[in-house]
Amino acid sequence: MPVLRLIRERFAKERPLDGVRVAACLHVTAETACLARTLVAGGAEVGLCSANPLSTQDDVAAALATNDHVDVHALHGEDIDSYVAHVNALVDSGPQITLDDGADLLTAIHARSGAGADGASNGGDLAEKLIGGTEETTTGLLRLRRLEAESGLRCPVLAVNEALAERTLNDRYGTGQSALDGILRAANLLLAGHTLVLLGYGFAGRGIAQRARGAGAAVIVCEVDPLRALEARMEGYEVMPALDAAGRGDLFVTVTGSRSVLRREHFERMKDNAVLANAGHFDVEIDLDDLRALATGGVQPVLPLIDQYDLGDRRLNLLASGRVVNLAAGEGHPAAVMDVSFALQALAAEHLVLNAGSLEPRVLDVPRAIDDEVSRLKLAALDVQIDTLTEDQRDYLQGWRQSF
Ligand SMILES: NC(=O)c1ccc[n+]([C@@H]2O[C@H](COP(=O)([O-])OP(=O)(O)OC[C@H]3O[C@@H](n4cnc5c(N)ncnc54)[C@H](O)[C@@H]3O)[C@@H](O)[C@H]2O)c1
């Protein structure tokens, strides 16, 4: 992760996070460990819990706790009670900066602070300690914007998920490749000659569609947003309602951030042996209650990450229990992608500390200068040089008098 390494080297000299308590609720993977080490190099006291029980790498958690003085609360496969206890352990530490992937940590602090206002919590108002937070994913930003709309957001949050470098690298190329990788590892499918129905043609969905088409699949896109649907059509994909696509697909991939995108009415039309996978953040996009209710013949594990639902006349194969497939069935984004995401996280944390007290308690864009800096470092890591504007060109672009 050369971009993060360059930032870590600067942080070690400048110590921009000296003494700052940073709590991160992220996937506990080797890549996250590099981010944690970068924050520690910058002087931060770092706590870490997992944003997804299935993605925790226990050896990484142990190494961080043992070697890097990171306060780790995460265990692979932990149940929901342990998950909540681990998030709460970080809440109790009174963080000043939060780094989230799904907003569980920051919303827990807000929920606890609300209780505190009624005198029912641990005494201090945790939200008052907050300098700010960052958010790594679409779903987390949706939650935080709803909190903001209710005038409940108590600190600035930088929308790392919407940084231009993140959108380009992480969502399109990272998710595009790694979601298909997870599906192929779990199901060992041949994409060529098969039809993939993609539900949600957003930043992540576009990457999946592009990669699947490249591997020979026929791709059908289902959308609710007219502009996104139009874009998919102009790209050459078939576009239709999910109910029409239900009988056509061999493989269905949801990546909308919404829930029950595939449900009873769709399952009832699907072909025998169709495969269902979810690349959205939460395991709510494929309606598991509906699927279970239809499985009159029972549910059988047929491969380590595949449960087969017997609908009597047809079988449907669910990958990774409907959890985010690139993490639950694969290894998530390659390190080269997370290098960019976590470089943005590190610089966003630094920006929040440098501007403590002067940013509004809203969901904010990552400053363009951070996007540019991360892109510049990534290009350097790839040994790619680019042109710069001449003085004459800069004058031309900044002025308004010359039109020819
Ligand atoms: N697996 C990963 O690595 C990964 C990476 C990035 C994002 N995500 C997750 O994927 C989800 C989508 O993220 P995004 O950044 O692409 O969001 P996005 O908002 O850019 O795209 C989501 C798209 O889904 C569409 N949509 C919503 N409801 C729909 C429905 N019922 N049927 C069809 N389309 C529908 C929306 O119109 C939108 O175009 C989120 O949960 C996000 O957290 C996962």
Cα(235) to ligand 1 centroid in Å equals 18
Q: Cα separations (Å) of 260 from 180, 243, 255?
A: 21, 13, 11
Q: Do 314 and 6 form a contact (C-beta atoms < 8 A)?
A: no
Q: Is residue 2 scored above 50 in pLDDT?
A: yes
306-310 sheet: strands from edge to edge: 238-239, 218-222, 195-199, 251-254, 274-278, 315-319, 306-310, 299-303
Q: Give the tens place of pLDDT for each residue, 101-137.
A: 999 999 999 998 874 444 344 545 888 889 999 999 8
- Pick the residue with more confidence: 152 or 403? 152
Model confidence band, residue 265 (pLDDT cutoffs 50, 70, 90) = very high
Identify the residue whose C-alpha is closest to ligand 1 atom 44: 280
β-pairing verdict for 306-310 and 299-303: antiparallel
Q: Give the tens place of pLDDT for each residue, 170-219.
A: 888 999 999 999 999 999 999 999 999 999 999 999 999 999 999 999 99
Could you tell me which of 6, 60, 22 has the C-alpha nearest to residue 331? 60
How many residues would you count in the chain?
404
Q: State phi, psi for 183 to the nearest 5 degrees.
A: -65, -45
DSSP symbols for 306-369? EEEEE-SS-EEEEEGGGSBHHHHSS--S-HHHHHHHHHHHHHHHHHHHHTTTTS-SSEEPPPHH
Locate the ligand 1 atom nearest the alpha carbon of residue 332 and give its number.
3
pLDDT at res. 404? 62
Say whether pTM exceeds 0.85.
Answer: no
Cα(142) to ligand 1 centroid in Å equals 11
Locate the ligand 1 atom nearest the alpha carbon of residue 261 and give its number.
31
Q: Stretch 315-321: mean pLDDT, rounded? A: 97
Identify the residue whose C-alpha is closest to ligand 1 atom 8: 280
* pLDDT above 90: percentage of residues in the chain: 87
- In one-letter notation, the amino acid at residue 215 is A
pLDDT at res. 230? 98
For ligand 1, mutation pick of 55, 256, 266 (most atoms within 8 Å of CB): 256
Q: Cα separations (Å) of 345 from 112, 153, 168, 185?
A: 25, 20, 15, 30
40/38 Cα distance (integer angstroms): 5
Three-point CA angle 34, 40, 44, nearest 5° = 135
Cα(256) to ligand 1 centroid in Å equals 3
The tally of CA atoms less than 13 A away on the side-chain side of residue 204 is 25
Cα(280) to ligand 1 centroid in Å equals 6
For ligand 1, mutation pick of 168, 255, 282, 333 (most atoms within 8 Å of CB): 255
Owner of token pair 């937070």: 133
Distance of CA 109 to the CA centre of its chain: 20
Q: Which residues line ligand 1 (CB under 6 A)?
A: 137-139, 171, 175, 179, 199-205, 222-225, 228, 255-258, 261, 279-281, 324, 326
264/119 Cα distance (integer angstroms): 45
